[in-house]
Structure 1
Amino acid sequence: MILTGLTLRDFRTYHAAEVRLGPGLTVITGRNGAGKTNLLEAIYFACTARSCRTSNEREVVRFGAELTRLELTSEDALGRHEVTVGFKPGEAKRLKADGAAVDNLVGTGARPLVSVFLPDRLELVLGAPALRRAHLDQVVAALWPSRAGTRRSYSAALAQRNALLSSIRAGRASRASLPAWDAELARHGVALMADRAATVDRLRPRYAQHAQGLGLEGEVELRYRPRSTAATAEALAAELAERVDSDLERGFTGHGPHRDDLTFRREGRELRSYGSRGQQRLGLLALLLAEREELATEHGAAPLILLDDVMSELDATRRGRLVDLLRREGQAVITTTELEHVPGGKEPDVTWIEIVDGDVSPRRLASLGVVAQGAPTPGLGQDAA
């Protein structure tokens, strides 16, 4: 599926904009603060109905406006599709896919799968294990949509077991009910661990290949690190039962897949602790490219990938390698301050969108057959690209 266009209103600094993307590589250029990152975020928001930059989504509505609205158009072998996302702070999002109201966009065939690289996404490498677990579970759901419920079922069972532990501590319940919740938690937990392990096994060789292709030297490895060694639900339930006393003491479940981690390693050491910022950046890029390739193998088409300011910390050789990978298949959008930072950026098959003083300029797009226009409200602060 190819994303062909995006119309947005009152999103971040943009009052209104209409953009048409190319089927391959699209490069968005403009000075720092021009609004490039805002445009990239709008694409992601339209594809997923959530922000890739903030948990406080009130921030995406333009200052002074009541709501934001985005319309995304895409095409596949079945024809043209349309997704509409309307968001007013304090209210539920209003979502439509091909004209029909939907509760969420997960599994919706009207929009492309999407992944995103932002400079602050290095937290996926540097941050807490919870970030990596959540990301891994998103990849599981993208590979096998029918398995997306496993994580939710495990989380629900974990919440119930923790509530029971709290009641037992307070003297409002007995330990007699714990074995049943141990069994329920273990049943979903073993399935969750199996999905995570299978996903990392599939990603591992591609991750190593892309890391080396981008110039991350040395032996690199992506490794799933589960907290439990159990291979069956019965074995995991037994591990939980052995730790009941310590769980009661702390008041929550301290063992299980909710304590798993995903590690990026180079020469046997974690990039999180021993890698340079450049190596960590390459490790994250390699992961996103590996996921994109694996999803393309599973679903027959590569997901859309959004890359913000990725060229600024890469040398010329690595820039060339990255662009070669992106142009090989699928659709990609890159933001940069200078078109010259993207090798081959002036080739006829590359779409170029320039943002000048906050306007999505159509002037340099006419020869490419691309129409884009927009005007954020002047005088408002722009986000750094």
Structure 2
Amino acid sequence: MIATRLSLRDFRSYSAADVRLGPGLTVVSGRNGAGKTNLLEAIYFACTGRSCRTANEREVVRFGAELTRLELACEDALGRHEISVGFKPGDAKRLKADGAPVDNLVGVSARPLVSVFLPDRLELVLGAPALRRSHLDQVVAALWPARAGTRRAYSAALAQRNALLASIRAGRASKASLPAWDAELARHGIALMADRDATVERLRPRFAEHAAGLGLEGEVELRYRPRSKAADAAGLVAELAERVESDLERGFTGHGPHRDDLAFRREGRELRAYGSRGQQRLGLLSLLLAEREELAAERGSAPLLLLDDVMSELDATRRERLTSLLRRDGQAVITTTELEHVPGSDADDVEKIFIEGGRALQGVEA
């Protein structure tokens, strides 16, 4: 699925914009603060129905405007498609796929999968384990859509077990009901752990290869860190039973896949604690590139990759390697302050957008 055109009104700094996106590489250039990142966010918003930059989505509506609207034209082997997103703060979003209203865009086949690199996304490396778990589960769902329900089923069982723990603690229920919910939680938990482990094992070699190619020196490793050591549901049930008293004391389930983590390691040490900011950025970029290739191998097409200001910390050799990767397979949009920072950006098959004065101009700077 290829995104071919984005039209928007009243999104961030733009009153209106209508831009073409190339089937391969699109380069968005302009000075700092011109609105390049805003355009990437708009593409992501149109693909997913949510922001990649803020939890307070009121911020995406241009100051002084009441609502924002985005339309994304796409193409695949079956023909042309259109995704539209309308958002007015305080109201439900209006999402449509090929003219039909939808509740969300996650399961819509008429839109491209999308992955984004923003400086703010370093929280995936630096932040709480919950961020990494959520990201890993999104990759699982993208690789194998039929398995997306495993995480939801586990979360529902966890909520039920926690509610029961609270009731037991308050004297409104007995421990006799716990084994049934332990078994339910363990059944979904083991499946969730298996999906996560399989995904990380697929990503590990590609992650290491991209990290080395982009200049992250030393032995680099992506590692899944499950909280449980159980090999099957019975083992996880036993672990939960051993911790019942401590769970009752704290009032919630303290053990299981909801406490897992994903580690970025270099020379045996975690990038989160011991890596420089540049090394952490390269680790994140390597992960996204590895995911892109795995998704292309599994699903037959690579996701749309949005890259904000990645060239500034790469030398000429690494810039050349990254650009070659981006142009080799799939669709990508990359921002830069200088076109010459993106090798090959003057080629005829590279779409160019120049941002100036709150406007997105197709082509290069005059």
**TM above 0.5, one fold?**
yes
Unaligned runs of 5+ in 1: 367-385
State the TM-score, normalizing by the size of structure 2: 0.98
1:287 aligns with 2:283: no
Structure 1 residue 326: deviation in Å?
0.6
Structure 2 counterpart of 1:249: 249
Give a deviation string over 1:127-172, Cα, whole Å, max 9, x none.
1101100000000000011111111111111111111111111111
1:260 partnered with 2:260:
yes
Name the SS for the 1:33 alignment partner: coil
How far apart are residue 76 of structure 1 and its match?
0.7
Q: In the aligned structure 2, how far is the partner of 1:126 from the partner of 1:307?
A: 19
Q: Is 1:164 matched up with 2:164?
A: yes
Q: Distance in 2 between matches of 1:263 and 1:49?
A: 29
C-alpha separation in 2, matches of 1:91 and 1:166: 35
Give the corresponding residue for 1:20.
20
Matched residues in 2 for 1:31 and 1:173: separation? 63
- Quick one: distance in 1 between partners of 2:269 and 2:235? 30
Deviations 1:27-76 (A, max 9, x none): 00111111111100000000001100001111111112221111100111
TM-score normalised by structure 1 residue count? 0.93
Distance in 1 (alpha carbons) for counterparts of 2:184 and 2:4: 45
Shift of 1:311: 1.1
Q: Is the aligned partner of 1:106 residue 2:116?
A: no
- Are the aligned partners of 1:114 and 1:303 in contact in 2 as well (CA < 8 Å)? yes
CA deviation map 1:247-275 (0-9, x unaligned): 01111100000000000111111111111
Check whether the contact 2:308–2:334 (CA below 8 A) recurs between aligned residues.
Answer: yes
Q: Report the counterpart of residue 119 of structure 1 in structure 2.
A: 119
Q: CA deviation at 1:317?
A: 1.8
What does the per-residue CA deviation read over 1:3-39, in whole Å, with 9 as the maximum and x for residues that have no partner? Answer: 1001111111111111111111100011111111110
Q: Which residue of 2 aligns with 1:178?
A: 178
SS of residue matched to 1:82: strand
Aligned residues of 2:46 and 2:72 also touching (Cα < 8 A):
yes
Q: Which amino acid aligns with 2:112?
A: P
Alignment of 1:223-234 (within 5 A): 223-234=223-234
Residue aligned with 1:140, SS: helix
8 A contact 1:352–1:365 mirrored in 2: no
The CA deviation at 1:365 is 8.3
Q: Which of 119-128 and 355-364 deviates more? A: 355-364
* 1:202 counterpart = 2:171: no
Q: What is the rounded CA distance, in whole Å, between the counterparts of 1:365 and 1:181 in structure 2?
A: 62
The AA in structure 1 aligned to 2:291 is E
Cα RMSD (Å): 1.2
Give the partner amino acid of 1:199: T
Question: In the superposition, relative to structure 1, how do residues 12 and 252 fare at CA in structure 2: closer, same or farther (>3 Å)?
Answer: same
Residues 353, 363 of structure 2: 8 Å contact kept: no
Instruction: State how far apart, in whole Å, the 2-side matches of 1:152 and 1:10 are.
Output: 35
Q: Shift of the alpha carbon at 1:362?
A: 3.4
Is the aligned partner of 1:146 residue 2:146? yes
Alpha-carbon contact 2:19-2:362 (below 8 Å) kept: no
1:207·1:287 contact (CA, 8 Å) conserved in 2?
A: yes
Equivalence for 1:383: none
Question: Residue 363 of structure 1: CA displacement?
Answer: 5.7
Indicate the SS of the match to 1:312.
helix
Aligned-pair CA distance for 1:231 = 1.5
Q: What is aligned with 1:324?
A: 324
- Aligned partner of 2:357 in structure 1 is 357
In structure 2, runs of 5+ residues without a counterpart are none
User: Could you say if the C-alpha distance between residues 108 and 59 of structure 1 is closer, same or farther in structure 2, counting changes exceeding 3 Å?
Assistant: same
Quick one: distance in 2 between partners of 1:191 and 1:98?
A: 35
Whichever residue aligns with residue 171 of structure 2, its letter is G
The equivalent residue for 2:74 is: 74
Question: Cα deviations across residues 170-214 of structure 1 (Å, max 9, x unaligned)?
Answer: 111111111111111111111100100010011111111111111
Q: Distance in 2 between the 1:185 and 1:133 partners?
A: 17
Change in CA separation of 1:363 and 1:288 when aligned onto 2, cut-off 3 Å: closer
Deviation at 1:364, TM superposition (A): 3.3
Instruction: Quickly say closer, same or farther: Cα 1:271–1:363, change in 2 above 3 A.
Output: closer
Once the two structures are superposed, residues 79-134 of structure 1 have per-residue CA deviations (whole angstroms, 9 ceiling, x without a partner) of: 11111111111222111111111111112111100000000111111111011000
Looking at structure 2, the residues matched to 91 and 162 of structure 1 have their Cα atoms a distance apart, in angstroms, of 32
| Alpha-carbon distance in structure 2 between the residues aligned to 1:265 and 1:198 | 18
- Check the 8 A contact 2:20/2:362 in 1, yes or no: no
Moved >2 Å (runs of 4+): 362-366
Higher alpha-carbon deviation: 35-44 or 85-94: 85-94
- Per-residue CA shift, 1:273-323, capped at 9, x if unaligned? 111111111111110000000000001111110001111122222111111
Q: Show the counterpart of 2:130.
A: 130
Bigger drift between 221-230 and 345-354 goes to 345-354
Name the residue aligned to 1:372: none
Identity of aligned residues (%): 83
The separation in 1 between residues aligned to 2:350 and 2:129, in whole angstroms, is 38
Is 1:220–1:267's contact at 8 Å kept on the other side of the alignment? yes
CA distance in 2, matches of 1:353, 1:237: 56
